[in-house]
Structure 1
Amino acid sequence: MHQHEHAQVSFVESGAFDVYIDGNEHRLTAGDGFYIHPNTDHGAVCREAGILIDVFSPVREDFLTE
């Protein structure tokens, strides 16, 4: 589990993930999405290999490369 000051929107392109948001667990599969408010405890566990697309606001400078 972790938290950060960024809002996060995620989309499951493929696979299956157990997503934990503020003490609640959700099994998400292809086509599902979720929103995480800033400073909210959350985490995810991949249960079936796939692609999870994350978008952060404001931008996560620590994820950028030069």
Structure 2
Amino acid sequence: MDNKKNGKKQIPLRISDELYTELERWAEDEFRSVNGQIEYLLTQSVKYRRKGARGLTTEQTES
């Protein structure tokens, strides 16, 4: 599939085995591929940040 036609970029991503396993389980729970889950989570994070979460500390966003 031509990436220019679908508007998506391919990027190399290196994550720990533990994180991959967690993402794999989460993706399965939500009937997504691991790639789809990562894209969903990144999209949600960007939307959250755009809505003004920039003023929160790391501790506030993790609780």
TM-score tier (shorter) = under 0.3
Bigger Rg over Cα: 2
Higher RCO, 1 vs 2 (CA within 8 Å, ≥6 residues apart): 1
**TM-score for both structures, normalised by structure 2:** 0.24
Whichever structure has more strand as a proportion of its residues is 1
**TM-score for both structures, normalised by structure 1:** 0.23
